[in-house]
Amino acid sequence: MLVVMEEHAAEEQIQAVIDKLVGLGFDVHRSTGALHTILGGVGDRDFEAAEFEVMPGVKEAHRIVSPYKLVHRGFRPEGSIVRVGEVAIGGEAVVVMAGPCSVETKDQIERIAALVAEAGAKVLRGGAFKPRSSPYSFQGLGEEGLRLMREAAGRNGLLVVSEVMDTTQIPLLAQYADILQVGARNMQNYALLRELGRLRKPVLLKRGPAATIEEWLLSAEYLAAGGNYDIIPCERGIRTFETYTRNTMDISAIPVVKKLSHLPVAADPSHGTGRRDKVPPMARAALAAGADALVIEVHHDPDNAWSDGAQTIGPEQFRELMGQLRMIAPAVGRSL
């Protein structure tokens, strides 16, 4: 903890801060400058800087020690690879996860699984439980959807990733899916994160639309603190003042997370933009910026998808995009 005192802070104000630091178990270094006295609290404690900033005579305070430890790059400087079956996320090959927003029918998921597998995807994505902002929207097929997706994936040599919305759904999801997805709106659902930390299945952790990178990594830390290190943070757009796109995809978060953390990073250009015609350029951009995996909504007939059709691309667009991605990958030392 670093505490910078105001110019002309009184000696008793300085002493009060020292006392508080000592009381919290910090060793204290004091630096008296011409203008400001600086107090360095040394020790591996977790404490809110704001608690010091409201003390009389304090100008500002900064936490030094990273609030996350287990997902910090320093914990595994060489980087992590999340392995599921024969798929390695974070290795040399970039992994594409593709599929519909939601599982609709047996025929639909079979057709989509076949087409994305053929184009080179390794994981089938699809929702069986859908978080919808309106209570009146389609909420997903539930277990039946999971079963259909599992079968379609199996027939096409794909893994399955699907969203879990509540602690009570974990056993069901764990039975059918290879990777469990935590949706953006649940990124700080700590009850859910704690339970998933006890699971031994990889988690795709979507970034919340208002989450800073630090908060996102703290949510990952919840999982790791429970013993589950197989975490794939996934950038999917943040909320900004720009409304043309549904969210603003923060492409720069990809290299930032890869620097701060040892985890592999995914990107979801479908939710990141909300518009079908923006999915290919943003998928290419994410790969060029260093993403380890891409999550893309694909449907054999996007205009008639039951949900999220506006951000879903069709078979032709997907195949063309995969071709472009294969051309870009070598520029960043990857394959696809």
Q: Which of residues 154-173 bind a copy of itself (CB under 8 A)?
A: 165-169
Residue type, 314: G
Report the nearest approach of a copy of itself to the CB of residue 67 (Å). 5
* Binding status of residue 134 toward a copy of itself by CB under 8 A: yes
**Between 76 and 239, CB nearer to a copy of itself:** 239
Scanning residues 74 to 93, which ones bind a copy of itself (CB under 8 A)?
74
Q: Which of 13, 18, 24, 53 binds a copy of itself (CB under 8 A)?
A: 53
Measure CA 185 to chain center. Answer: 11
227, 255 in Cβ contact below 8 A? no
Report the nearest approach of a copy of itself to the CB of residue 136 (Å). 5
Binding segment (CB under 8 A) for a copy of itself, from list 81-89, 104-112, 198-206, 320-328: 320-328
What CA–CA distance (Å, rounded) separates 207 from 27?
A: 36
Binding segment (CB under 8 A) for a copy of itself, from list 105-113, 141-149, 154-162, 251-259: 251-259
Q: What does the block give as tokens for 331?
A: 């520029």
* Binding status of residue 58 toward a copy of itself by CB under 8 A: no
Report the nearest approach of a copy of itself to the CB of residue 226 (Å). 8
* Binding status of residue 100 toward a copy of itself by CB under 8 A: no
Phi and psi at residue 232, to the nearest 5°? -125, 95
What CA–CA distance (Å, rounded) separates 236 from 4?
A: 37
What CA–CA distance (Å, rounded) separates 283 from 326?
A: 12
SS3 readout for 43-57: CCCCCCCHHHHCCCC
* Binding status of residue 289 toward a copy of itself by CB under 8 A: yes
**Between 86 and 242, CB nearer to a copy of itself:** 242
* Binding status of residue 276 toward a copy of itself by CB under 8 A: yes
Instruction: Return the residue matching tokens 């080179």.
Output: 120
CA geometry: angle 260, 173, 208, nearest 5 deg: 35
Report the nearest approach of a copy of itself to the CB of residue 283 (Å). 9
Where does residue 81 rank: exposed (0-12), middle (13-18), buried (19+ CB within 10 A)?
Answer: middle
* Binding status of residue 254 toward a copy of itself by CB under 8 A: yes
Site string for a copy of itself, 195-234 (x = CB under 8 A): -------------xxx-xxxx--xx-xx--x---------
Alpha-helix residue ranges (DSSP H) falling in 187-336: 190-198, 213-225, 253-260, 269-273, 279-288, 315-328
* Binding status of residue 27 toward a copy of itself by CB under 8 A: yes
Binding segment (CB under 8 A) for a copy of itself, from list 108-116, 145-153, 154-162, 241-249: 241-249
322, 119 in Cβ contact below 8 A? yes
Q: Which of 10, 15, 25, 48 binds a copy of itself (CB under 8 A)?
A: 48
